[in-house]
Structure formats: structure tokens, C-alpha cells
Amino acid sequence: MVIAITRKVSPRFSECELTHIERVPIDLDLARAQHSAYTQALVSAGCQVIELPEEANLPDSVFVEDTAVVLPNVAVITRPGADSRKPETKSVIQALTPYRELVHIGEPATIDGGDVLVLGKNIYVGMSMRSNKEAIVQLQKLLDNYGYIVTGVPLQDCLHLKSAVTRVDESTLLINGNWVDAANFLIFNLIEVDPSEPYAANCLPVGNSIIYPTAFPRTCHKLEQHGYRITGVDVGELAKAEGAVTCCSLIIE
């Protein structure tokens, strides 16, 4: 059984942190409906969903991915880069404790889970405005005994590494080469997003399908041409907060 931890949308969602996009009005009811449909897509993909209650005073807390990095034998509790988000880890620690040994990133390091791409025993960390070099040092020390190699990856024009590249399967990545250098991932098969869809590089493989935003039909078609089964979800309101499909869950396999 694959477990997915999610969290309901905060009533203060419209006060979310923004870095690379302009603030526009967010329809809270629609955001909640889209998140509910996303949760149902996880269930349909075979996940047992653990939905944490909304955090009224934590606007970005629906994006649970940023609070932890879940690995087969251990989970790393992050220290989010935005000060307003640091309290989000408390409830996630409680939720993960039954399933994994926990280790913790400490100050002065900061790191968002959205900057962490795990590909086998290689872990890539986006050097974004939210994640710093000290986090790479700490992450390597914490995971040395588990055999992981942690590497920092430069980014441009995007919030997180997983805004620019995500895993499709064990040998294939979906990538926007304008935001992260494809040379970092030459051992993988790379599917480039359609040039008209720069935000299309974020996908969530679960079970036998890939949960993917309906906003990017051209890149979706590319994935389908490669034989992948797509479960489309509308996350347009969540995207107004710089969210995407990986952001809204922690997957425990």
C-alpha cells in the first residue's frame, strides 16, 4: 500500500508566499475543490490518503512536500526557507513518525522539499531562494550511512528544482531545460516540455499512472506518446500560489 499524506487548504491560502509570479486573486472554494479532486486522484491511483486538517494560520501549508523528504528507510524533516512556513513541519513530524525514522535539518540550513529530487541513490538539491549550501552539507551527513550522494544544482527563473525537472519513472525525467541545465541529468532519458508550456515539468508518478495538470495539453501529449498513462487534474488555483502536483503530497512507499 502506498500512503499519501496531504493537508487541506488553509483559509488564508490567498496570503501565500510568492517568488516568481505576480499575485492574482485566488478562489478559495475552487482551490479546495481542486485539492479534493487531486486527493481523489491519489486514491484512484491506489494510495491510502492521510489528510491532515487545515492550518488556519499557515497559508502555504497545503504544500506538504516542502516539509519532508521521504526515503525508503528514513525521512528528512526540512527547515523551509520562508520563515512563515517553518511551523508547518510540526504536524508532519507527527504524521510521519509511525512510518519512518526521522532525521532533521537544523539552522542555519534551509531547504524546501520541492527542491529535492531523489533519483535512486542520487539526491539533487536545487540551489534556489529557499534552499542553501549548508542544507546540502547537512543532508549529506544525515544520509551518509544510507548510501546517498547529494549534489547541488543551479536554477534560474523558477521557485524549486521540481518546477524545472521531475521523475517520470526510474530512467526518465520531464524537464524544462531553460530553468535547469540538462547536463546535470545526462544518465537519464529526458522529455522536454513543450516550449509554450514552461511550467509543465512537474508530474507525479503514482502506481501505474502519472498525475498531471490539465493546463499543459501539449506536454501531456508528449508523455502519452511515450506510452505513459495520464490522470489529469485541474490545479489552476493552486498554481496561483506557485503550487504543482508534487507539492500537495508526501508519498510513502
Strands (E), the chain: 2-7, 47-52, 68-70, 74-77, 101-104, 116-119, 122-127, 149-154, 165-169, 172-175, 189-192, 204-206, 209-213, 230-233, 250-252
Cβ proximity of 162 and 202 under 8 Å? yes
Which are the catalytic amino acids? 160, 247
Closest CA to 69 of 111, 106, 126: 111
Cβ proximity of 24 and 69 under 8 Å? no
Q: Alpha-carbon distance 246 to 253, whole Å?
A: 15
Q: For 84, which DSSP code?
A: G
Q: Is 59 exposed, middle or buried (0-12, 13-18, 19+ CB in 10 A)?
A: buried
CA distances from residue 172 to 89, 118, 146, 188 in whole angstroms, order as listed: 30, 13, 23, 5
